[in-house]
Structure 1
Amino acid sequence: MAKLQEIEKKGRAINSKFAAYMEKHLLYELFYEIAIQLMIQKPEDHIVFMKQYLQLAAKKLNISNIILIAPTSFDRIALAKVLQEELGVHPLTLKDLRNVCSQHDDGCHCKESEDLACAMRKILESEATFRESGWILVDLPRTKREAQIFQRIGIIPTHVIQLIVSNDTENSKICTDIFACYKTCDPTSTSKNMKHRPYLKNLRDLREVYGHCLIEVEVGIRSIDELGKDCAKLTKIKKHCGAPSLFRIALVGSRGSGCTTLAKYLAERFNLVHIDYDQIMEQARLQQNFLGKMLRTFEDKWGERPKPKLRIQVIEKYISEYECLKRGWVLTGYPKTVEDFKLLDLNPTPPNRVIFVEVNGDVCRERLLNRRYNFVTGSKHILSRTNYADNDDCKLTIHSRDLRLVVERDLQEYEENVTNMMQYAGESAIKIDGNEEERIVREQIEAIIMRPISSWHSRVPKPPPVIDPMNIEFDPYDEPDSRVGNGMLLVHPVILIHRASYFRNITPFAWCHI
């Protein structure tokens, strides 16, 4: 029985490593792309096709192919140029494709939509820059049928951006003098509505075709540069291709930021395991093993926390358990420093969603100092929200962790380390404003974790490079290496050798005489 449990445990560990490895290298997305091209191309020998297309498919995972949908009055060309600067994509317009159609007239008497699709395919086949950097279509597809023709021929976007332009924004783009052209800018103008009606009709059809990769962006009062940068950030988020994945969430915030409350909500909402660092650390201290003994040793020293390598051992013990591997988890109270963050990323199942909850320090301080616990029932109360006159039997006391000295120390520690952790996490982390209402914060976090997995692998620290001893230059005045004599060659002190390459030129006969 014990043997079977050991085999089952090893199998779970291997599966968890496989899942994290597939997420890291986007293997689901890779084979999803290959499957799409197999259905489009329908090669006779699919094995040969996959071998030849594999390298190109791997490159296409990080390439953005965008279709821009916006009213005709909006300056789409200017926005496309901003996206070209931000992402490196090359804009293509209706005029560009028509020019290609006239230059490559192969006698194919297709309709215009099919002609444009053929021209687009010829551009992608002949111009390597479009395949390697991506493209953005500005004026098309214009109708549902045209979009279906583009899809059938293999022109499939990764993102479709629909710009929502309000009447006020549209008028401000067109007019320079609102009194001189009031009739033109009036939303109730009949001529304007007649021009706008075909766009609205085609918009519904295009949204139906591209619903799986559609992104709605409201223009508002932003400039073209600001709008382009925001759209570029959205295109860096890859759409979910149906790959199975588990939520492994790290909620990072100071004490009093509400991370624990949010974690309990997420655990109930998505059936996750909530791992609270302070709670499991207290449990580990009470255990009669080597780790518990080491933790109690640090506890006896006032003001000194356990070392990062001890802290990560406690975390790894919990996130490698069966329930966490099966259901996913949400972690609070950890990491505390950037060293903790790096050690957590080296785990086989690191967090694939990192969320920083930003709350004003004064708000956190007020929440913690006004918090009381009922030592009979264990319930938690806030002084400003509790009416004690109606409940004289309420036995409230201050928790030792909510003393002012401890609170100030914890808040200061977080402020000193949060900047470095954010820099280390980079674009793989999301920041939210925790000062909003609880309902709004919950909705924001739900929207964040429901997105596809971010590029957490970009922040995983690389192991130090392996140094080849044969490439190291030795100096006779260096301090002697302590490893000499432990399986290494002992050299007579009279012999001075300046370069390790000298050893490679010594014959076996010469070695015997040395």
Structure 2
Amino acid sequence: MSNFEEATRQLLTIPPDFVPYMEKHRLYEFFYELVTQLLIQQPDDPIVFIKQSVQHIIRKRDIPRVILIAPPSFDKMTLAKILQKETGICPVTLEDLYASSPIENMCHCYDANEIADRMKKLLISGILHESGWILVDIPRNKKEARAMQYVGIIPTHVIQIISSSVEDKTREKKDIRSDYKRRLRGLRDAYANLLIEVEAGTKTIQELGRKCATLMKIKKHYGAPSLFRIVFIGPRGSGHRSLAKHVSERFNLVHVDFNNILEEACLRETALGEMLRMCDHRCAQKIKSEARVQIIERYVLESDCLKRGWILTSYPKTVEEFKLLDMISTPPNRVIVLEIDIQTCRKRLLNHECNFTSEHEFSCESSVTDPDYKLDVHFNNYKDIIEQDLQEYKENIDAILQYAGETASIINATGERKCVKERLEACLMRPAPSAKPRIPYPPPTIDPMDIEFDPDDEPDLSIFDDIRAPEPKYSFI
């Protein structure tokens, strides 16, 4: 009996090689939404409810549902219309709710439960069900927020506008400000795990709208175990390898540099190593893309990379290599691209010299006082090789960015190295950009007219509707 109790108390862990699959298909988010709706609605037939809920979640989980909180003097409706233009969501106000209510029940719309019930009916109907919504001045207090949560109105984002302008403070009466602060405390408590604070500052209403639209693309964390698997892209001379080393130390990741693991693969007594040794010293330029990605996949599937995560440099160099990398069993979940002027990279590389004893690189502008240091130009820093590498990067980076789309984070790599490191760390501490997954090779479109009927095809299940009891229909927000 004691052994059973000890076993039930043990923390259940997911094997690291399962995590990429769950991330790719957003299974944590899926089950979180499923269980939330199941517990809120508590249907009589949970199996049928789960089946219908699965279909709803798959279709609607990327549709934003927003609650906007702002001071009384702030122009919330204008901001909501800007967000409608940016994202397509529809603003919903208390007046819209009153308009949808029968005249004889207008007096009941001030009750929290009545507001929640009528809001639910409004949100599951018409265009709001397809486009998403932004609630303006609803809910007004914690009681209304809890009532809406109880009926299943769960937002994806709660945006609080913080206005600190003197004009706003002088325009509001003292009692209005105190009432707003009291209600704000309750709303912040009700939506603590979804709240996003946006400082208005000196921004125009248009700039504030674009800022909010960007923040709406960031999804909340659902408690899934996550490891960084980062593709770090930048031209030679951008410092991407030294920055990757800093990130690996800062976040306890494995730094995977393709050039280094290629040399290791060449030394191994394997069929792949023998094939690589047949190439010359710059064999990386000649081996096939499939062999390159095979080297990377073998390395990142080792236990250290699976347990700690990794950051990859010097690969991919073309969009085709990127697509092959996305097809491995543990594909990257973060893409970071350094933005820097090519001329700056060229100047840095031409100023580099190397101590071949220690293999440390130095800038020509730095002074080396040790007489044992014998500096010379590394063969990779010869002018023709530098030009070739930079030209290759220029030819391929646009296609890589187009393929990565909104999954890529662009980091400004100009300025002091300390500032670049801070930008990079801040980027990794934020949630990954919310974007559709990259599809390396989309399946071909099929014309329905080209499909012939197969007698073994399953029949349309609707033909059995007349001979079996119909399933109950559940509504979702």
TM-score scaled to structure 2, two decimals? 0.82
Deviation at 1:66, TM superposition (A): 0.2
Distance 1:293 1:165, change over 3 A: same
Can you list the C-alpha shifts for 1:460-494, whole angstroms capped at 9, x where unaligned? 223554999xx79xxxxxxxxxxxxxxxxxxxxxx
TM-score scaled to structure 1, two decimals? 0.76
Distance 1:440 1:203, change over 3 A: farther
Distance 1:81 1:303, change over 3 A: same
Q: 2:181 aligns with which of 182, 200, 210?
A: 200
Q: 1:404 aligns with which of 360, 383, 388?
A: 383
Distance 1:103 1:401, change over 3 A: farther
Secondary structure, aligned partner of 2:82: helix
**How many angstroms apart in 2 are the aligned matches of 1:43 and 1:467?**
39
- Counterpart code for 1:441: V
Can you list the C-alpha shifts for 1:192-234, whole angstroms capped at 9, x where unaligned? 5554343334334323332212222233555444433332232
**How many angstroms apart in 2 are the aligned matches of 1:211 and 1:441?**
32
Which residue pairs with 1:387 in the alignment? 367
Give the 5 Å matches for 1:106-505: 112-125=111-124, 127-167=125-165, 185=167, 187=169, 189=170, 192-299=173-280, 304-384=285-365, 386-388=366-368, 390-454=369-433, 458-462=437-441, 465=444
**How many angstroms apart in 1 are the aligned matches of 2:130 and 2:168?**
44
Deviation at 1:120, TM superposition (A): 0.8
Give the 5 Å matches for 1:80-99: 80-99=80-99
Deviation at 1:64, TM superposition (A): 0.6
Distance 1:186 1:233, change over 3 A: closer
Distance 1:44 1:444, change over 3 A: farther
**How many angstroms apart in 1 are the aligned matches of 2:193 and 2:206?**
27
Q: Is the 2:73–2:172 contact (alpha carbons within 8 Å) kept by the matching residues of 1?
A: no
Larger Rg computed on CA atoms = 1
Can you list the C-alpha shifts for 1:307-335, whole angstroms capped at 9, x where unaligned? 32232122122122222222211101111
Distance 1:437 1:204, change over 3 A: farther
- Counterpart code for 1:350: P
Q: Is the 2:217–2:433 contact (alpha carbons within 8 Å) kept by the matching residues of 1?
A: no
Deviation at 1:354, TM superposition (A): 0.3
Greater length-normalized contact order (CA 8 Å, ≥ 6 residues apart): 2
Which deviates more, 18-27 or 233-242? Answer: 18-27
Distance 1:400 1:205, change over 3 A: farther
Gapped runs of 5+ residues in structure 1? 1-13, 169-184, 473-499, 501-514
| Seq. identity, % | 49
Which deviates more, 208-217 or 152-161? Answer: 208-217
Deviation at 1:106, TM superposition (A): 10
Distance 1:90 1:357, change over 3 A: same
Distance 1:270 1:104, change over 3 A: farther
Distance 1:298 1:227, change over 3 A: farther
Which residue pairs with 2:71 in the alignment? 71
Can you list the C-alpha shifts for 1:129-153, whole angstroms capped at 9, x where unaligned? 3233211101122223332222223
**How many angstroms apart in 1 are the aligned matches of 2:152 and 2:168?**
41
Deviation at 1:91, TM superposition (A): 1.1
CA RMSD of aligned residues (A): 3.2
Secondary structure, aligned partner of 1:347: coil
**How many angstroms apart in 2 are the aligned matches of 1:150 and 1:457?**
29
Matched length: 438
Deviation at 1:351, TM superposition (A): 0.6
Distance 1:71 1:371, change over 3 A: same
- Counterpart code for 1:397: D
**How many angstroms apart in 1 are the aligned matches of 2:143 and 2:32?**
25
**How many angstroms apart in 2 are the aligned matches of 1:83 and 1:190?**
26
Deviation at 1:394, TM superposition (A): 3.0
**How many angstroms apart in 2 are the aligned matches of 1:112 and 1:442?**
52
Secondary structure, aligned partner of 1:142: coil
**How many angstroms apart in 1 are the aligned matches of 2:77 and 2:224?**
35
Distance 1:293 1:464, change over 3 A: farther
**How many angstroms apart in 2 are the aligned matches of 1:283 and 1:298?**
14
Deviation at 1:37, TM superposition (A): 1.3
**How many angstroms apart in 1 are the aligned matches of 2:189 and 2:348?**
48
Which deviates more, 406-415 or 77-86? Answer: 77-86
Q: Is the 1:101–1:116 contact (alpha carbons within 8 Å) kept by the matching residues of 2?
A: no
